[in-house]
Chains A and B, each alone.
Chain A
Amino acid sequence: EVQLVESGGGLVKPGESLRLSCAASGFNFRSYSMNWVRQAPGKGLEWVSSITTSGSLVYYADSVKGRFTISRDNTENSLYLQMNSLRAEDTAVYYCARVSGQWVPVNWGQGTLVIVSS
């Protein structure tokens, strides 16, 4: 069974940093590209970032480009999202997702909540 477990969320002040992790199990992690998707309170889903199987290619939404960095460790079956210069509008539940061949999320974690507030 595919399992994705996010961690690392919490309450931070504007301008601070946070690193999210996603532990994957139940599938061959190194064979799948991965996404981060977020959902602000009461809002819809927003794609944040994608990474290819080897980590050689990464993609970002304009809203986080230059501030967030996606990475992965295939030896640890883990996905990461380093979030710097956080803003109030980054407040959201962050989900990691295993994607299909065309980047559409297929399996989701339960999410981790990030609150950016002074």
Chain B
Amino acid sequence: QTVVTQESSFSVSPGGTVTLTCGLTSGSVSTSYYPGWCQQTPGQAPRTLIYSTDTRSSGVPDRFSGSILGNKAALTITGAQAHDESDYYCVLFMGGGSVVFGEGTKLTVL
């Protein structure tokens, strides 16, 4: 069974740039997986930042961008701010009406 992989944790300095990635245990992530990225702070509902690889959801600042880097989907955050400290989940379309979420990356801003 293919599993979606993400870094378990990542740290970035305020004002810095960080790139989180989303891969597969078997195969490469391409635009055909229509990757998305969701942000979640503790106790809150998820918020989708990016879908279809690089489309920002309404109201999402352009500090957040999505792309394909090599064989993975990527979420890049530039000018990191304290309130960007959250869990970030990637989500991939797997065919039919199904999607699969990664286990999430805990981002620390310090």
Contact = CB atoms under 8 A, between A and B. Distances in A.
Interface string B27-58: 00000001110101000011110011001010
Chain A contact patch, size range: 20 to 34
Contacts of B34: 100, 102-104
B61 interface: no
Interface residues of B, number: 26
Interface in A83-117: 95, 100-111
Contacts of B40: 45
B46 A106 contact: no
Contacts, number: 79
Contact of A44 (B35, B47, B55, B101): B101
B70 interface: no
A95 B51 contact: no
Given A47-B98, A59-B98, A104 B48 contact: yes
Contact of A107 (B48, B52, B55): B48
Contacts of B89: 44-45
A44 B103 contact: yes
Given A103-B93, A103-B97, A107-B57, 4 more contacts: A45-B46, A57-B97, A59-B98, A104-B51
Interface of A: 33, 35, 37, 44-47, 50-52, 57-59, 61, 95, 100-111
